[in-house]
Structures are given as C-alpha cells and as structure tokens.
Amino acid sequence: MENYWDILIFFLGGLGFIAGGLITARLVRPSRPNDEKLTTYESGEEPLGAARGRVNTRFYIIALIFLLFEVEIIFLFPWATVFGDAERVNVTNGLWGWFSLVEMFIFIGVLGLGLAYVWKKGFLDWPKAEIQKSEFKSPVPMSMYNEINKKYSK
C-alpha cells in the first residue's frame, strides 16, 4: 500500500499544477467579449447549416481499419522486449528466440491476410468524383486568354 501513496501524491501534484495554471490564467487574462469572439469558429469559415451533417460511412471503415493495424504495434512491443532478452534466449539454447521469431511472423502474416482481404473487397478504394465539363460559352475569345497567360507566365 505504501507504493500507492507515491502515485497518489504525484497525481494530486499534477492536478494541482493544472488547476494552478488555469486559475492563474483566469486572473491574469483580460475579459472583453464581443460578437466576433462569441461566434463559432470553423477553420476560418463562417459555419453554414446544421452541425449535424451526414458523414460518408467510408470514413468509419477507414478509421476502423487504421485502428486494427495500429493495435498491431501494441502487440509487437512486448514481443520485441521478450525477443531482445538475451538471458531468456540463452537459457533455452536459442529455442525461445526461434519460437518468438516464428510467432511474430505468424502474427504479421495474419495481419497481412486481413489487409489483403480488405484490399480485395475494395474497402480501401475511394471512388473518384466525376468531373462535369462546363457548357459555358464565353464571349471573350480564347486567343485573349492565351495572350494573358503568356504575358504573366514569364
């Protein structure tokens, strides 16, 4: 139980540090609200429409696939620490090292099969938007555009 007191002290110290910074900032900063500051900020653009817009489900599929393969790193780290333990590998005459190496290749092989399956099913393909050609007829002749382009491209 004694070790947990150290953790509690560090946790409370961290909370105190954060609270102290927020309280100090609140006391020091000026408060001058106006209409511009109270508007919603959306990447420098004025927000249009409702905030609850539809999102393409392909974003979710890509995010899930990313998380699946990102978790691979979490499982490979313990493998690397065990495989890098020279004492454990030497005790078993190298048998432990070969076992962990084969185990790692099987694990990455299963993930590779998962990636091949996702790729084959087309979940990683993103449909390209069709470009619609404009039927606009300009009263300005094309030769004038070409002259302007030549003039400013130099």
* CA-to-CA separations, 141 to 146, 148, 153, in angstroms, rounded: 9, 12, 19
Q: How far apart are CA 55 and CA 61, in angstroms?
A: 12
Look up tokens 């002749």; give the residue: 141
Rounded Cα gap, residues 26 and 118, in angstroms: 50
3 state SS of 144: helix
CB 119 within 8 A of CB 137: no
Tell me: the pLDDT tens digits for 132-141? 787 878 888 8
Cut 0.95: pTM above it: no
Q: Collapsing DSSP states into helix, strand and coil, what is residue 42?
A: strand
DSSP state of 51: S
- pLDDT, tens digit, 9 for 90 and up, residues 2-31: 778 889 999 999 999 999 999 999 999 988
Q: Average pLDDT of the chain?
A: 82
